[in-house]
């Protein structure tokens, strides 16, 4: 990481973290545990209090957070929020020092990442798009999968930071490539959750012991990280958000639009995108994406 800081700076780069939500808070805390100095900014006061309680520093603005940072990490919901924190007189690009590395770990459109990298380069700021997969549990446990787009030298420099946050860390290609891979990830996850939800309803209506069934399915070819992570949600009907339907709805829009642009057919993905959208329209957008089970139950005649 030595090329991120000059000789007058600490061996570990100073980090600014923008966005302390369900994912951002535990991720920033893992950097603190790894020995990094983290200055954070978010709109919720309680999230800033949580950061300071963990040993971080709360900033009163984006400008204050990024001014002396070597590495700036953003983790916000979607493209509009990335643009809001990056651009303008109070944003990252106008206040970060030349030579800083901006790592956007949000899930946004690939084109937004490409545009951000271009705008940042004009100000001497390097950019990586580095969305993650693994949900809240993966963030807490620092076992996220991190898919990165950008330059090889910047990726190599950022690797120690990524290693404090995740386990599978891959440079996928130039700017926007990380977001493209994340879109594919969200497609696979949504289809997998939908298949699991349909299997749960089928099993229960057939009178099978659901716990036993999911245990044995998890040990065979039908097993998946999705089934392992969401099994308890299905069994308990606990849909406390680890990754909200609202956000998966946004991601399904990204992947269906991107697929259309490159001429890739997504027949199953398109159906699941509509099922996610319908669940959101029924008022369940704030629930975990495992709540797709509720939609299948409704279609099957249950009152939920």
Domain boundary among 139, 155, 173: 173
The pLDDT value recorded for residue 7 is 42
> Are both 35 and 160 inside the same structural domain?
yes
> Chunked in runs of 10, what are the mean pLDDT values of the chain (304 residues)?
47 95 97 98 97 98 98 97 97 98 97 97 98 94 98 98 98 98 97 98 98 98 96 97 95 96 97 98 97 97 86
Who contacts 116 (Cβ-Cβ below 8 Å, separation ≥6)?
A: 82, 83, 86, 102, 104, 127, 129
Phi, psi of 97 (to 5 degrees): -80, 150
The pLDDT value recorded for residue 3 is 52
> Are both 215 and 231 inside the same structural domain?
yes
The pLDDT value recorded for residue 29 is 98
CA 171 to chain centroid, in Å, comes to: 16
Domain boundary among 114, 143, 173: 173
> Are both 154 and 266 inside the same structural domain?
no
> Are both 124 and 193 inside the same structural domain?
no
What range does the domain containing 189 cover? 181-299
The pLDDT value recorded for residue 303 is 81
The pLDDT value recorded for residue 4 is 54
Domain boundary among 173, 205, 223: 173
> Are both 139 and 201 inside the same structural domain?
no
The pLDDT value recorded for residue 2 is 43
The set of catalytic residues is 182
pTM tops 0.85, yes or no = yes
Structural domain count of the chain: 2
Question: Is the residue at 304 inside a domain?
Answer: no
> Are both 279 and 157 inside the same structural domain?
no
Q: For residues 191 and 269, is the Cβ–Cβ distance under 8 A?
A: yes
> Are both 73 and 159 inside the same structural domain?
yes
């Amino acid at each position: 990481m030595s090329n991120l800081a000059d000789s007058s700076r600490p061996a570990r780069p100073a980090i600014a973290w923008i966005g302390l939500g369900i994912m951002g808070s535990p991720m920033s805390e893992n950097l603190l545990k790894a020995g990094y100095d983290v200055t954070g900014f978010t709109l919720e006061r309680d999230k800033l209090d949580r950061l300071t309680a963990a040993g971080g520093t709360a900033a009163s603005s984006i400008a204050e957070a990024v001014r002396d940072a070597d590495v700036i990490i953003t983790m916000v919901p979607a493209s509009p929020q990335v643009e809001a924190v990056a651009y303008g007189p109070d944003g990252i690009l106008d206040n970060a020092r030349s030579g800083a590395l901006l790592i956007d770990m949000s899930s946004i459109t690939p084109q937004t990442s490409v545009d951000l990298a271009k705008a940042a380069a004009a100000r001497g700021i390097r950019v990586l798009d580095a969305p993650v997969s693994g949900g809240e549990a993966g963030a807490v446990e620092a076992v996220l999968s991190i898919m990165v787009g950008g330059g090889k030298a910047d990726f190599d420099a950022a690797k120690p930071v990524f290693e404090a946050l995740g386990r599978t860390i891959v440079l996928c290609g130039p700017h926007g490539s990380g977001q493209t891979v994340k879109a594919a990830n969200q497609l696979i996850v949504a289809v997998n959750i939908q298949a699991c939800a349909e299997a749960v309803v089928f099993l229960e209506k057939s009178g099978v012991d659901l716990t036993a069934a999911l245990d044995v399915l998890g040990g065979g070819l039908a097993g998946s990280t999705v089934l392992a992570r969401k099994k308890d949600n299905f069994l308990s009907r606990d849909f406390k958000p680890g990754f909200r339907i609202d956000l998966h709805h946004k991601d399904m829009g990204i992947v269906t639009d991107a697929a259309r642009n490159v001429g890739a057919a997504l027949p199953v993905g398109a159906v699941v995108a509509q099922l996610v959208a319908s669940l959101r329209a029924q008022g369940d957008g704030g629930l975990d994406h495992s709540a797709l089970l509720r939609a299948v139950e409704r279609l099957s005649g249950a009152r939920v």
